[in-house]
């Protein structure tokens, strides 16, 4: 019994020993396999890495292609927009050219229509002066029941403020007093009509206000200080005469003012008239000489000459203009002569001082008053005519070509008093 029990125990120990060995061998085998697995890279993993790299490279290439295509598309759009912009600019320029040609070709069908149009322009140009004179007179006479010295004093102030001038104003007031006394006028409303008649009489006392360009050939010498609109006035006079069928030539005799020659050339191109010019700083008399020779050779009707306008040194001014006048008398004795002084109406009484200075050095035959549309003191027309006894021949009432108008006393006074 004991022997059987001992044999079972021995057999059990043997089995346990064998199992331990097998476990050790198994562990060794597992360890070895694990080392082999760790030392060998899985081919599938390599394939996955290579595939990933290829996909990244392909993606970059695609992105680069897309970026290039996007840039090309943007450049193409910009090119299309630039072409469209150029076409649009060309279309606008073409429209402007057509409009400019239409404006130049557009002529009034009937003479009365042109006169009405010009008078309307005159009224609009003198609107500020009207407010400064006649509108104030309307308010003044409505505030009085009878005519007395207080009314005359206020009327005197209105006229002086409008730059009619102290001397001219005093003469007008004295004449009004005498007329009212002689005709026994009581109604203040009558003063406006009396004043209109007095101003008309003053302006009618002067010689002809027409431009003196007949018989042809004729020459117009234009003088005036810098900045008064001298060159612009020359361009507009040329335009006016050309519309009348005259053959016109311009001479750039103001060789001292910067850009004066170029400015006159621009005006010449604009109105379709040639310009005789020398270099800046040249002798003005030499320019006028060449212009006279050209006028003769081309059978020109009217030669219009720009001149220097430096008032700061009257001696130099006298010398320069003196040389020009001598050349004209010597080389163009048969020509009808007109010497126009251009004055800026906005300078008021200062314009009268300029006129007096030029009158000392030149035989001024007519005045051109510019920028009347820019001042409420258009009474300077009356003052300068009265004090200097020089007729106003042209007035500027705007920037357009037609806004440089011939001066007509009746039209001027009617526009000043707001009449149709």
Known binding positions: 224-231, 306-310, 370-373
Helix-strand-coil split of the chain, %, nearest 5: 65, 10, 25
Helix (H, G, I), strand (E, B) or coil at 249: strand
Closest CA to 357 of 297, 312, 325: 312
Contact (CB, 8 A) for 141 and 417: no
Annotated binding residues for GTP, written as ranges, equal 224-231, 306-310, 370-373
Closest CA to 346 of 68, 84, 128: 128
φ, ψ dihedrals at 406, nearest 5°: -65, 140
Helix (H) or strand (E) holding 198: helix 190-204
Contact (CB, 8 A) for 339 and 286: no
Contact (CB, 8 A) for 254 and 261: yes
Dihedral sign (CA 212, 400, 264, 355): positive
Contact (CB, 8 A) for 273 and 222: no
Contact (CB, 8 A) for 219 and 384: no
Closest CA to 307 of 257, 374, 370: 257
Q: Is 394 left (phi over 0), alpha (psi -120 to 50) or beta?
A: beta
Q: Let me know if 198 is exposed, middle or buried by CB neighbors in 10 A (0-12, 13-18, 19+).
A: middle
Between helices 349-361 and 314-331, what is the axis angle to 10°? 50
Query: Which residues, in sequence order, are CB contacts of 380 under 8 Å at separation 6+?
Result: 163, 164, 165, 345, 348, 349, 351, 352, 369
Buried b / exposed e along 121-136 (16+ C-beta atoms within 10 A): bbbebbbbbbebbbbb
The position carrying tokens 């081309």 is: 298
Dihedral sign (CA 97, 102, 105, 108): negative
């Amino acid at each position: 019994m004991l022997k059987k029990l001992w044999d079972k125990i021995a057999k059990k120990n043997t089995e346990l020993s064998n199992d331990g060995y097998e476990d050790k061998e198994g562990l060794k085998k597992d360890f070895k396999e694990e080392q082999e697995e760790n030392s060998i890279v899985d081919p599938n993993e390599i394939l996955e890495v290579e595939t990933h790299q290829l996909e990244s490279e392909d993606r970059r290439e695609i992105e680069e292609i897309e970026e290039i295509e996007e840039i090309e598309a943007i450049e193409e759009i910009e090119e299309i927009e630039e072409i469209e912009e150029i076409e649009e600019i060309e279309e606008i320029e073409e429209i402007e050219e057509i409009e400019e040609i239409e404006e130049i070709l557009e002529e009034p069908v009937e003479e009365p229509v042109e006169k009405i149009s010009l008078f309307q322009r005159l009224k609009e140009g003198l609107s500020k002066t009207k407010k400064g004179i006649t509108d104030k007179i309307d308010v003044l006479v409505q505030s009085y029941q009878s005519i007395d010295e207080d009314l005359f004093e206020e009327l005197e102030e209105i006229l002086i403020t409008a730059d009619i001038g102290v001397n001219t104003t005093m003469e007008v007031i004295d004449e009004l007093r005498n007329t009212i006394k002689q005709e026994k006028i009581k109604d203040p409303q009558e003063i406006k009509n009396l004043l209109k008649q007095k101003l008309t009489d003053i302006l009618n006392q002067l010689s002809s206000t027409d431009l003196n360009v007949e018989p042809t050939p004729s020459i117009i010498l234009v003088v005036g200080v810098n900045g008064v609109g001298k060159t612009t006035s020359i361009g507009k006079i040329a335009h006016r005469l050309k519309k009348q069928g005259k053959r016109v030539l311009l001479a750039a005799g103001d060789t001292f003012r910067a850009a004066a020659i170029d400015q006159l050339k621009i005006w010449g191109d604009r109105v379709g008239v040639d310009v005789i010019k020398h270099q800046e700083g040249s002798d003005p008399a030499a320019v006028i000489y060449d212009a006279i020779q050209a006028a003769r050779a081309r059978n020109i009707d009217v030669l219009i000459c720009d001149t220097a306008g430096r008032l700061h040194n009257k001696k130099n001014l006298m010398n320069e203009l003196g040389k020009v006048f001598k050349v004209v008398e010597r080389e163009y004795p048969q020509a009808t002569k007109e010497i126009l002084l251009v004055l800026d109406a906005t300078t008021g009484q200062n314009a009268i001082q300029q006129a007096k200075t030029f009158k000392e050095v030149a035989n001024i035959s007519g005045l051109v008053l510019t920028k009347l549309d820019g001042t409420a003191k258009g009474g300077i027309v009356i003052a300068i005519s009265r004090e200097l006894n020089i007729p106003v021949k042209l007035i500027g009432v705007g920037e357009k070509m037609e806004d440089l108008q011939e001066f007509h006393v009746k039209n001027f006074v009617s526009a000043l008093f707001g009449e149709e």
